[in-house]
Amino acid sequence: MTRETLKIESLPNQMDLAAVSAMLNEHNADQGLVYDPRALNIFVRDERGNVIAGLIGSTYWDWLRISKLAVAKSARDQGLGTRLLQAAEEEASKRGCSNVFVDTFSFQAISFYKSLGYKVFAELPEYPKGHTRFFLTKKLES
């Protein structure tokens, strides 16, 4: 008989992280859902080549998942966030996606996403304390 060990690790090795992902991916595949994300990253650069805005996301299971969208303080209020989001939505549509999901916080961009047609489908209050985390989705036009 083997004895399992449980250990909390702040800095796990990549092989252990990959093992957990592989177990979950195997389970998903058994359900007919192969997890094969395709990166969708868009950057805006200034005249010197420095990134002043960007969107980091991926497409899988016919969805666009936006992980991060940020615009440098010096480049805000120029429509860059809107341009990034529109470009990502267009590319996701080309890839066959029909929906987008993203999360943001009450101190970040909730009104921005709502102004572009995103709808809140869940809220996590007091995350972090004194704030709310919002989960939003949008149906892409065909």
pLDDT at 60: 97
Number of domains in the chain: 1
Confidence grade of residue 29 (pLDDT, cut at 50, 70, 90) = very high
Average pLDDT value for residue range 9-21? 96
pLDDT at 1: 66
- H or E stretch covering 51: strand 51-60
Q: Are 129 and 92 in contact (CB under 8 A)?
A: no
Residue 57, domain extent: 37-139
* Residue 131 maps to a domain: yes
Q: Are 54 and 44 in contact (CB under 8 A)?
A: yes
* Cα distance between residue 142 and residue 125, in whole Å: 34
* Cα distance between residue 111 and residue 5, in whole Å: 46
Residue 142 pLDDT greater than 90, yes or no: no
Contacts 24+ apart (CB under 8 A), 112-118: 112/81, 116/82, 116/85
* Residue 6 maps to a domain: no
Residue 26 pLDDT greater than 90, yes or no: yes
* Residue 2 maps to a domain: no
At position 70, the amino acid (one-letter code) is A
pLDDT tens digit sequence for 31-60: 999 999 999 999 999 999 999 999 999 999
* Residue 14 maps to a domain: no
* Residue 59 maps to a domain: yes
* Residue 112 maps to a domain: yes
pLDDT at 100: 99
* Cα distance between residue 67 and residue 130, in whole Å: 22
Token digits of residue 47: 């005249």
Confidence grade of residue 2 (pLDDT, cut at 50, 70, 90) = confident
* Residue 23 maps to a domain: no
pLDDT tens digit sequence for 79-122: 999 999 999 999 999 999 999 999 999 999 999 999 999 999 99
* Residue 17 maps to a domain: no
- The CATH number that applies at residue 56 is 3.40.630.30
